[in-house]
Structure 1
Amino acid sequence: MTEASGPIDVGRALRALRRRADLSQRELAERSGVPKSTLARIESGRGAEPRFATVERLVRAAGGEVAIAVSGGTRPREASGVPGDGLGSDFGRGSDFELSPDDELRDDELRDDELRDDAGRRYPSHLDVRKVRRLTDWPGAWWAHWYTLPPERWPLRVPEVTYDLDRRRRDERRWRERIRRQVRVRRDTAGLPDGSLRLLAELPDGALIGELRAHERSVDLFLGEDLGDEREIVVDGVLVAPEVRLLGIGRRLVALLADEMARAGIRTARATAEFGGVSFLMACGFALEASRPTALRLDRRQRPGWATERPG
């Protein structure tokens, strides 16, 4: 239970709650029995402060709950038994209202909806309107993943903001953002030999969604000459579950690898990759080298002893 430190903007909180429930103003008004005009007036901050009963009906209809605490630290009592996100406000009567969400309303969800359309109207909160900062932010640019073009060469006019009308897409985007916030990376040392690294990306429930494996090698042994006990890390692979790719999880694993290298006094890491793995490693700070190992493949469907060689 998160205690409100003071009065909060009821309108902003309601918009955030609607966003969580994926409800339009009309849908929430129908569920709560509160006129849509009243809901719009509360969210815009126009007119007198709303009645507590009205706010409670709106919160409960959106799946939230309101908790009340008398000033002076008295233990709060629940005003509704519906689990979920909550809403708090001080209506000027000496009571503290507490926010009681199952997943805290973050600052970016409680922000003022400053974005407006060309007519100066606020966009619907439940559509999760977002600014288009990169071409791939806009669903209309379906070709953006295959082409890298400067803005002046974009083939279509790109809007300043965008949103997803498809509920399934909105749910998926919210789920991915929740994964991005919750994932944690750590080093696993259980059952590994000295010189081996296993870095994990996990969710709070222990679900494994990413892994980096690497091993240390002595350059002295590799080159057959004394280089002053020079050591290197060889990256064996970086794996991220397909459904959570492009969330920066792989980069966090590589960043943890860099931290482990610094702790061990190792300056160099090497890796081989192909296709998208090359771009990923370069985005993480790796650089292409002119000299590199040759990639070999043994295809057992061919005659025994035959191996196909191809450039790395």
Structure 2
Amino acid sequence: MKVLVTGSAGFIGYHLANYLLERGDEVVGLDSINDYYDINLKYGRLKQSGIYANDIKEEEEIKSSIYQNYTFTKSNLENDIYLSNLFNKHKFDVVINLAAQAGVRYSLSNPKAYIKSNIEGFVNILEACRHNNVKNLVYASSSSVYGSNTKVPFSVHDNVDHPVSLYAASKKSNELMAHTYSHLFGLPTTGLRFFTVYGPWGRPDMALFIFTKAIIEGKPIDVFNYGNMVRDFTYINDIVKGIVKTIDNPAKPNEDWNSNSPDPASSKAPYNIYNIGNSSPIKLLDFIEAIEEKLGMNAKMNKMPIQPGDVPFTYADVTDLTKNFDYKPKTNIREGVANFIEWYLNFYNYGN
């Protein structure tokens, strides 16, 4: 297939693009390479995929030196004219939209970034797919849409009308807009609610990266909600395998549709929502213990109240994904944490 992966210099996008390239798909990667976090990490990921450039110009297309079937271009989703031209030129079969302004806490200080990228940008993706006969749109949602829900595990059949951060609200809006395009134009769309993704090449604003760096440097780590946090940590390889299942199986209209059902998953449109998580929540203090064990160092903890926009626990019900695609995450927390730390020590030249 010919596939567009937006956010391909990002954590999940990098791993997904490489997986698709390895299996023989033709991939075009798009990323704005913004400075939300260290761009050297983004360029480092691109170099692993054969995109050797430290300063890529806007709208420039660069061919990989490793994969003949990989082209990278730099742009943001708000650039609707370039996006339209890109779609018209490449005639994509499938689009995977992972590009977004990420982070719950950052949305408190820079809300407009989320409106531009996550809402305006997503509308541009929908329009480009609609007008270019794209056969399947898969896009990143988030477990944060569950907001103040207290029923666990979180199910895609639960109501999610009470987000507690603008980031979560922007992701919920993506699901609503996608449904509209599926309903009006027959565009198959699948939204994926990711649960705390971690692993090698991860984002520096995530807990594993922050904690590892601080422990190595002998600095204290901020442990919110006094450590009483629970997260459904999901290893990157398990995330990618789940995404690929939905890439290869576009959403179809629900034959059992009931117009009286309050369940959004019962829509007649070619529209799906799935949780992708490990479905095995881990206590934050146990997560920190796994880091300490691998590093052979003890963490200095600064225990603090929960932050605005944060939720105390996440727990994915992956029943639908398992039923439809036999999805079974396999990576336990100690194995995943150890893999990340080995990558981290190597990338930042510790001990060399």
Q: Do they superpose with TM above 0.5?
A: no
Larger relative CO (CA 8 A, sep 6+): 1 or 2?
A: 2
**Greater share of residues in helix:** 2
Is the radius of gyration larger for structure 1 or structure 2? 1
TM-score by length of 1: 0.28
